[in-house]
Each structure stands twice: as C-alpha cells, then as structure tokens.
Amino acid sequence: MLSGNWTGCSTVPSRTLYPHQWSWDSGFVAIGLRHLSPVRAQRELESLLAAQWADGRVPHIVFNPDVPLTAYFPSPDFWRSSDAGDKAGAPAAVETSGIVQPPIHALAAWLVHQADPVASERRGFLRRLYPRLVAWQRYLTDRRDLGGRGLAAIVHPWESGMDNSPCWDPPLARIDPAATASFQRADLDHGCATDRPTDLDYGRYVRLAEQYRDHGYADDASQHRFAVEDPGVNALLIASEHALADIATALGADPSDHQVRAEELTTALVKGLWSAEDGLFLCHDVIAGRSIGERSAAGLLPLILPGLPDDISATLLATASGEHFGLDGIARLVPSYDLKGHAFDPCRYWRGPAWFNVNWLLARGLRQHGAAERADTLRATLLGAAAESGFAEYVDPFTGAARGSRDFSWTAALTIDLLAEVSR
C-alpha cells in the first residue's frame, strides 16, 4: 500500500481522503520506509523540506497541482500561499498551506540516516537537510513562543496533528464559525459523518485559517485569537533538538547548542505544562492565561524524552495504565482522549479513537523509561490491530475496529518499523 500511495517523490496519507503530502505523515512514513529503501525515505523528507518557507516554517500540506481542487478542502485556492504568504517567505513555485504540524522531522532524518549511513553520506542527505531542520526548529522556538514562556504555541488546532481534540473546545469557543454555506467539506465524501468533526467545529477551523491567511500568515502574538502550548508538539520539538545534536555530531559540528536548547525546553515544558494533580502534561491557553483541564494523549508524549525528572516519568507511566487511558487494562490501545472525559467518543476523530503514530511514540517512551516489557506488549498489540483493521487511519481503542481511511500510509510504515524492531 505504501507503493500505491507513492507519487514519485512523496507518499500521500490516503489516495481518497488525503491526496496531497502531509508534513508529519511524511516524517512517520520515512521512519518506516528506511527499512525498505533508505534512499526513498530520504526523498520523502527532501521533497517536504523543498517546500519550506523562508521564515523556516514547514507547511502542513504540500499540494500536488495535478489533483483537482475539489478533491480536498481547504484547497490551494483557499490558502493562496504564494500570494498571501509572500511576506512570510512562502515559495513561489509550489502551493502549500500556511500552518504547520508537529516537528517529527529531525528525529525522522536521524533515524533514516542511521538505516544506511553510507548512502546518506554519498547523497549528502544530512548535510543538505541540517540547515533546513535547524531553521524549522528556530521558527518554532523563536517566532512561535507567543506566551513568552519558552514553549512553542500552535495557532490552529490542525497544527497539533490532533485536529479535533476536546482540548481545543475551550479556546475555540471564542471563535465565530464561518458560515456552513461558505465552504464545501470534502472529507464527508470519503468518511462517515459520525467519525468526523462536526460542522460547527469545522466552521471554526475555517474561520481561524481565513484570519491567519488574511494577516499574511504573520506570527504577531497580538493578532492571534487561538494560541495554545501543546505538550505533544513541544515534546517532539525537544526530541528533535536531541536528534539535531546527533546530526551535528555526525557532521563534525558542535552539538552543544542543541543539547542546551533541549535541556532548556524540557525545563520550560515541566514548569509550564506539568500537572501533578492530573498526572500528565496539560495544554495551556496562551490568550486566556490558564491550563486547559482536558486529558489528552498528547499529555503522555513527553515520555519520549530522556531528560524528564524521574518522578514525572514514573507518574506518566502510571497515568498511561490508569483509568483515564487504560493501557494494559480496559483499552487495547491508548486512546487519543481521556476514557472518562465528558467528550470521549471512541469513533469521532481525535476525541477518543486510538492512533498508530501516538501509540508508536508511547511505545518508544515506555522503552525510554525502563518499561521494556510493557513496550513489547504494546508493540504486539499495534501489529495485530494494524493487520486486523486493514491498516486503518485510527481504531476503536476497546475493540480495534477500523475507523477513518484504510490503507493509511503511516499505519503501514510504522508497522514496518515495529516488525523490523521485532527482527533485531
């Protein structure tokens, strides 16, 4: 199916629902592809970063001009990146979205390099990507520190990757939705309405994107009506600083800047988003100046980090297996949202279903913090669920029943990575 979703330079998440290149999808796809074709995995990341903006941002969608505008919304004529994003340095030769997704890319690049260092060195893979990856990190740490707390903020729910999480409900309540008649959703042509965001939520997503576009995609803190520090985004930001330190070392450069930044970001993450009462990290609404009291799987993702205080990592391990997320208990896979939360829905997009990339990251986190047996169990469950569901986009966390698209690229790619891990 990865071959079926390959376009010649990148991999679409799904031929039907997602017919373009998505940012963090390509990161996860490259991680899996490295076991089959390290060079193709390199090309996956190279094609994405070729669409990077001059200000450093990596757009969340790179549009294929051969795909009809009606195949996906918001389409290139909505984002108008080469025009509206001109002052922010949007590329003129390719159309993209104007928002971003979680920064998995430096970690992916390092893992891809390690799969075949000889081929990587021959193609100059790390040497070419390193400055782009650094610019991407600096965009997030500098331009997106909207709260002045040393953490990156997202300015649209889609930037979190967890698009429809209940964590966004409180800040989204401030947003007047775009009129339903003003846009045509393409996602409902390929999926069940009960699995997808409501029209009200989608109208708010559209309104936010319109406002960002109409301000030239400028990251002026005063003009944003949605600004949230998300623990998942910041955990991957920190993991990428660790990866950049490894990349710098491999290139014969000084890694200390990345090491210091990783330490400083970890300190800011713990200080700004850790909730001992809830036993996980919470999102922070920058505009309202307060934490968002919803438990999301994003709050567990800092487990991937090596520099967490021992008491926090121990608490996260306990929370993952407790009543709110059910790992090793009532849930087959960790849900995207609190099993006991008021908005939990095992079917609706990011409001309860289990996702393969999130559980793959958590398996790495379990292993990182000494829970190897639990990581092995989660890996086995992921492999079974992927095959049984037809490599679905996401699944019911209790039953493993398929939801969303089938033949989903990152599900297939991460399955390959998990199988390679078993064979080592």
CB-based contact 204:212 (threshold 8 Å): no
Q: State the Cα–Cα distance between residues 221 and 227, nearest whole angstrom.
A: 8
Q: State the Cα–Cα distance between residues 146 and 163, nearest whole angstrom.
A: 20
Q: State the Cα–Cα distance between residues 131 and 105, nearest whole angstrom.
A: 13
Cβ contacts of 390 within 8 Å, gap of 6 or more = 402, 406, 407
Omega before residue 38 within 30° of 0, cis:
no
Instruction: State the catalytic residue, choosing from 219, 393, 396, 407.
Output: 393
CA angle in degrees (0–180, nearest 5) for 187-188-191 = 90
Backbone angles phi, psi at 160, to 5 degrees: -75, -20
Paired with 14 in beta bridges are 18
Strands 274-275, 280-281: pairing kind: antiparallel
Q: State the Cα–Cα distance between residues 239 and 245, nearest whole angstrom.
A: 10
Mark whether 277 is an active-site residue: no
Kind and range of the H or E run holding 229: strand 228-229
Size of the chain in residues: 424
Q: Which of 296, 273, 294, 300 is nearest to 363 (CA)?
A: 300
Instruction: State the catalytic residue, choosing from 163, 169, 278, 421.
Output: 163
Structure-block tokens of residue 245: 């330190």
DSSP one-letter string for 146-182: TTSSSS-EESSGGGGS-TT-GGGHHHHTTSPPPPGGG
Kind and range of the H or E run holding 228: strand 228-229
Q: Which residues of 170-205 are buried (b: 16+ CB within 10 A; e: fewer)?
A: bbbeebebbeeeebebbbeebbeeebbbeeebbbbb
Mark whether 393 is an active-site residue: yes
Q: State the Cα–Cα distance between residues 275 and 223, nearest whole angstrom.
A: 29
CB-based contact 383:419 (threshold 8 Å): yes
Residues labelled as active-site residues: 163, 393
